[in-house]
Structure 1
Amino acid sequence: MSAALHQPIAFLGMTHLGINHAAAAAALGFSVIGFDPDPALAESLASGRLPVMEPGLPELLHEHGRNIRFSADPADLADVALCYVAPDVATDEAGRSDLTVLRSLIALADQHLSPETVMVVLSQVPPGFTRSLSRQPETLFYQVETLIFGRAVERALKPERYILGCADPSAPLPPPLQHFLEAFGCPILPMRYESAELTKIAINLFLVSSVSTTNTIAELCERIGADWAEMAPALRLDRRIGPHAYLSPGLGVAGGNLERDLATFTRLASAHGSQSAVVSAWAANSRYRKDWVLARLHEHVFAHKPDAALALLGLAYKENTHSTKNSPALNLLKSIGPRPVAAYDPVVRASAEMHPGLRQAADALDACRGADALVVMTPWPAFAELDPAALAAVLAGRIVIDPYRVLDPTRLAAAGLHSIVLGAPNFSAFDSRTAPC
């Protein structure tokens, strides 16, 4: 077996993407270098202090820590046979990617890697990026990342398939890359650089199409008395839709990556004379859906009590993550005006920067104490364990706006609370049109 197969694999950029994929490689027995040019970050990781929250990641690193070495010394890259460049790529308010950090790491890698070292760009990039790099084509690849916040360890350890952008898709893969990818036991799909880069965008566009269709139908459900939760199982049994389709109503698309892909596709289509009206419609639908909770608050709470105090459960943009980028909760806080709000999130702490009237609660029940209405903005599993009777005992009002149906509407109604969820008529033990907050 070639000596290159026993050389370390390097992952450059120790943010969410790089850390999880480095940990997965170590878990499969590969010798891994987790590199970041920030010495403080490398030292923190070496000490077991993680900059990201991800279920299972601390345990994975603890169990397989002997296989991974964190470093800020680029000289450590000289002996690797395979190098993944994998920093998270930030986006601005218009969904444009900031590739500065990625380009910097690629330039640094080019200075210290052997010319024979295989480089794989794992960070998401726009079509055309990989081919524009100056590295020899037979050593340069782009791999589609499919990280999902809150499920990053699972996705890194058990990928559905590997989509690999190549200069020549018909050529055999370099042995170090072939050996590494085969260790995960999933299909490997080589294709042109541009095809792989666009496939990443296509995956997210299909997801957005499901989200948009679901949200559009869910809104009509609320108006005509249908319940989306009853309809979704029937749709999943249709083979054209499938059991794994994303059929959960939401508050638009969030997190940054989906918005980026909508914006990237629209810009590419415009630049090349391709029609993209449906993508623009999805973006408009997402913007509209972001105000669903605010509209329900005005209808059911503020109309009766303009100065109502709120309890807010969840600040992270989704469960099992520390990220607040495009968080529905933070978007809501910007829109509700000056009023008292008590918030609790298992990971994210409340701050005055989020809202001037925001108070950090000790726990979920503390947040609800004396509030005129409860809003559940992040579907953390722990919130599902809350006792409706205990909530009813500390809330001053009776309204619970729970878009993701984290709490059982039937149990809430039995406790005398009025539950409002996405895609269904209101759940209540009384008539909401005459009910006080």
Structure 2
Amino acid sequence: MKTTVVGSWHLASIYAAGLATLGHEVRLVARPEVTKGYERGEPPVHEPGLKEALAEYGGKGTWTFSDDIRDPANASEVCFLAEDVKVVPRGVDLDDFRKLFDAIASSKNFKIIPISSQMPIGTCRELQAAHPDVRVAYFPEFLRLGEGLARFLKPDYIVLGGDAGVTASVMPFFAGVDAPKFHVTLEEAEMAKHAANIFVALEVSFISELTKFSERFNVNLEKVGEILRHDARVGPKAYVLPGMGFSGETVERDIRVLLEKGRVLGIDLPLLSQIIPVNDEHNRFIERELKKRISNLTGSKIGFLGATYKPVTSTLRGSLFADLMMKLSGEGAEIRLFDPQVSDFQFLVQSPEEVFASADAVVISVGKKEFRDLDYQKLAGTMHSKVVIDAANLMSKDQARALGTDYISIGRGDL
């Protein structure tokens, strides 16, 4: 089947690669600079399998590119709109998105527009009313940075909001995907996306609150979390293991969207209103622990292993670690960072050895596979003041005790 995907960053790249992998003929419409990158074999974001899919299906000619939505060569019955929307303090700014939707609908190249961009509840109905000549659907994405293509091809479920005719045209694109498929209204699909992200935030905030008891009672919450995951009411994949809070904009976006909707409609949302403050307070963990041990940051040397907010991605968008490094640098600290997925950040060095050498403290920010087998005992021996903050809870009890340092992890008592 032939289809068009519109978007210039993560979401569109995954949709185009995924649909091509499923055997469809895909035309990806993106900004000119992004299109040129694709043509060079360089997608705009790192994702496992994305470059390989681009090489294979771009080479076969089943994944092609355009930078002009009005080009008749882009025409197809179904156009997946997968542009990442702008995140702002109140949730999202849809001005640019609405202009893009207007351009797609006015091009007369498409009959059905399934939107996968992050939409506040009620938005798709508004877009349909503004453009009755096309049929709007909502096809929410449930992807994750670093697992995008894998989760597109093997999702937990598929949700499509719209009328029955939309389902008949869109669902055949996913005939080869073995997953429960839900056909619901536009508003139910929009709310499903909000609810999925916010429920994860609730789980993360819940376990973050419990970490306050960890040191007081020497409780290892990793063990508690594993117990909870065996409870059928919680589930084996629940976000109930201790660690840093959520970041990366997407989860917080959905909370802020519903809080703003509630404010406009006069709906009180006391539970939702506390999630972000709880998370923000918990995410100051690294800074608090550093400042307990380094009274004057001026001239101190602080190393970081990892800056991205997910282990297998290259983006620093919404990374609390990147923000923290900038803050500590502004307070006089010398920052050194090693992250094998990041190519452009001012504190980068070339190896873990450079991060640890003469450092007053080292923060293990992210549990990347490249960090799992490092000889931390040897690396710690090169430090000046031996403080290791394992915010990823990467080390075992034996590894931590062998360091000979002041070792701090999250929610694991004294190990």
Q: Same fold (TM over 0.5)?
A: yes
Give 2:84's aligned residue.
88
Deviations 1:352-397 (A, max 9, x none): 5xxxxxx432111111111011111122211111112221232122
Partner of 1:110: 105
Aligned to 2:119: 125
Letter of the 1:194 counterpart: E
SS of 2:4's equivalent in the other structure is strand
Pairing 1:98–2:90 present: no
Shift of 1:82: 1.0
Corresponding residue for residue 326 of structure 1: 318
CA distance in 2, matches of 1:256, 1:234: 30
The correspondence for 1:48, drawn from 27, 41, 54, is: 41
Q: Aligned equivalents of 1:64 and 1:78: distance in 2?
A: 17
> Corresponding residue for 2:18?
24
Identity of aligned residues (%): 26
What is the SS of the residue equivalent to 1:318? Answer: coil
2:294 is aligned to 302
Counterpart position of 2:131: 135
Aligned position for 1:199 = 192
Give the letter for the 2:211 counterpart: A
Which amino acid in structure 2 is aligned with residue 376 of structure 1?
I
Matched residues in 2 for 1:390 and 1:198: separation? 50
Partner residue in 1 for 2:208: 215
Q: Secondary structure at the match of 1:310?
A: strand
8 Å Cα contact 1:43/1:71 also seen in 2: no
Matching residue's letter, 1:141? A
Cα deviation digits, residues 103-138 of structure 1 (max 9, x gap): 2221221232346x2111110111111111123387
Give the equivalent residue in structure 2 for 1:281: 274
What is the CA–CA distance in structure 1 between the aligned matches of 2:199 and 2:146, rounded to whole Å? 21
Using the TM superposition, give the Cα deviation of residue 180 of structure 1 relative to its aligned residue in structure 2, in angstroms.
1.0
Matched, 1:268 2:261: yes
Residue aligning to 2:32? 39
Q: Does the CA contact (< 8 Å) of 2:367 and 2:392 recur in 1?
A: yes
Kept in 2: contact 1:388–1:415 (CA 8 A): yes
Q: 1:313 aligns with which of 305, 308, 317?
A: 305
Q: Is the contact between residue 4 and residue 80 of structure 2 (CA under 8 Å) also seen in structure 1?
A: yes
Q: 2:334 aligns to what?
A: 340
The answer to which of 228-237 and 58-67 deviates more is 58-67
- The aligned residue for residue 258 of structure 1 is 251
**1:397 corresponds to which of 376, 385, 394:** 385
Cα distance in 1, alignment partners of residues 73 and 7 from structure 2:
13
Give the direction of change, closer, same or farther, for the CA distance of 1:137–1:402 in structure 2 (3 Å limit): farther
SS in 2 for 1:394: coil
Structure 2 CA distance for partners of 1:350 and 1:86, relative to 1, 3 Å: closer
- Cα pair 2:4 2:29 within 8 Å, conserved: yes
Extract structure 1 runs of 4+ deviating beyond 6 A: none
Instruction: Say which is worse superposed, 95-104 or 204-213, in terms of deviation.
Output: 95-104
Give the CA RMSD over aligned residues: 2.0
Aligned residues: 408
Cα distance in 1 for partners of 2:411, 2:261 equals: 34
**Cα gap change, 1:181 to 1:62, in 2 (>3 Å):** same
| Shift, 1:350, TM fit | 6.2
The residue that corresponds to 2:237 in the other structure is 244
Corresponding position of 1:417: 405
Aligned to 2:28, the other structure's residue is in SS state strand
Q: In structure 1, what is the equivalent of residue 374 of structure 2?
A: 386
Which letter does structure 2 place at the counterpart of 1:247? V
Q: What is the distance in 1 between the residues matched to 2:63 and 2:234?
A: 41
Which amino acid counterpart does residue 87 of structure 2 have in structure 1? T
TM value normalised by structure 1: 0.88
Shift of 1:422: 0.6
